[in-house]
Amino acid sequence: MSPIVFGILAILLVMSGLGVVLARSPIRSAMSLVMTLFFLAVMFLLLDAQLVAALQIIVYAGAIMVLFLFVIMLLNLQEEPAALGRVGLRYGASFIVSLFVLAAAHFLTTGTLQPGNAMADAVAPGFGSTEQIAERLFTQHIFAFELTSFLLLVAVVSAVVLAKKNLQ
């Protein structure tokens, strides 16, 4: 991936990410998050991970964010008042998050996580192809794969239990 394409994408990603935090209306926040996920999928595409990119959109943007929107509408969330909650808590939280961002920036600029290095040598022929992912997933990682189904089962059951009062 050329640094220019990466730069443009990174700027778009950060901007849509900021949109999630800064938008006053919850629906606009959610839509910014959809955009963030979309650009993230493009990023995967540029890293030769076509399958992951498609699944990113299908599962995150197409399913999970729809649930988010439904919840926002269900609770009828409106624009939040300017200063809600404890101010000290907000400042504390933003301070910790900024620390993480700074640490990430530090590793990105000095460490081995530099975008150039990571890509140059890791990509073997057929890397990220559907066949390769599938063979790994269904042979080496069977246990994790089967456990996923239990996780999903738990999600279904708990959703029904939580909503049961209103269903009947």
Partner 1 sequence: MILLIIISLVKALIAVHIVLIFAGVLGWIERKGSALIQDRIGANRASIFGFAGAGLINTMAADPLKFLTKEDIIPDGVDRLLHTLAPCVNLFPVLVAFCAVPFGDVLHLPGGVDVSLQAIPLGVGVLFVLAMASIGVYGVVLGGWASNNRFSLLGGIRGSAQMISYELAMGLSIVVMVMTFGSLDLQEIVRAQGHLIGGWLPGWGILYQPVAFIVFLIAGIAESKRVPFDLPEGESELVSGYFTEYSGIKYLMFFMTDFAEVATIAALITTFFFGGWQVPYLTPDGFVFPGGASLHINHYVIVLMQFGAYLLKVLFWSWFQIMLRWTLPRLRYDQLMWFGWKRMLPVALVNMVITAALILALQGAP
Partner 2 sequence: MAELYLPMLITCLLAGAMVGSLVFAGQLLGPHVENPAKGESFECGNPSTGSAWGRFSVKFYMTAILFIVFDIEVVFMYPWAVVFRRLGWFGFGEMMTFVAILGVGLLYVWRKGALEWD
Q: Assign 3-state DSSP to the chain and report helix, strand, coil percentages, each to 5.
A: 80, 0, 20
Task: Return all residues near 18 (Cβ < 8 A) that are at least 6 apart.
Answer: none
CA dihedral 92, 39, 105, 87 (to 10 degrees): -10
Instruction: Examine residue 163 and tell whether it contacts partner 2 (CB under 8 A).
Output: yes
- How many residues belong to the site for partner 2 (CB under 8 A)? 46
Q: CB-based contacts of 97: which residues, under 8 Å, 6+ apart?
A: none
Tokens representing 23 are 């938008």
- d(CA 16, CA 42) in angstroms, rounded, equals 14
> Residue 144, SS3?
helix
**Tokens at 40, concatenated:** 């993230």
Query: Rule CB under 8 A: which of 102-121 touch partner 2?
Result: none
Question: How far apart (Å, rounded) are the C-alpha atoms in residues 161 and 105?
Answer: 43
Q: Which option in partner 2, partner 1, none does residue 149 bind, with CB closer than 5 to 8 A by kind?
A: partner 2
1 binds partner 2 (CB under 8 A): yes
Region 125-154 residues binding partner 2, contact defined as CB under 8 A:
130-131, 133-135, 137-139, 142, 145-146, 148-150, 152-153
12 binds partner 1 per the rule CB under 8 A = no
Chosen from partner 2, partner 1, none, partner binding at 31 (C-beta under 5 to 8 Å by type): partner 1
- Residue 124 as a binder of partner 2 (CB under 8 A): the answer is no
Burial (CB count within 10 angstroms: exposed 0-12, middle 13-18, buried 19+), residue 40: buried
What is the contact surface with partner 2 in residues (CB under 8 A)?
Answer: 1, 45-46, 48, 51, 55, 58-59, 62-64, 66-67, 70-71, 73-76, 78, 130-131, 133-135, 137-139, 142, 145-146, 148-150, 152-153, 155-157, 159-160, 163-164, 166-168
What is the contact surface with partner 1 in residues (CB under 8 A)?
Answer: 25, 27-28, 31, 34, 38, 41, 50-51, 54-55, 57-58, 61-63, 66, 69-70, 73, 129-130
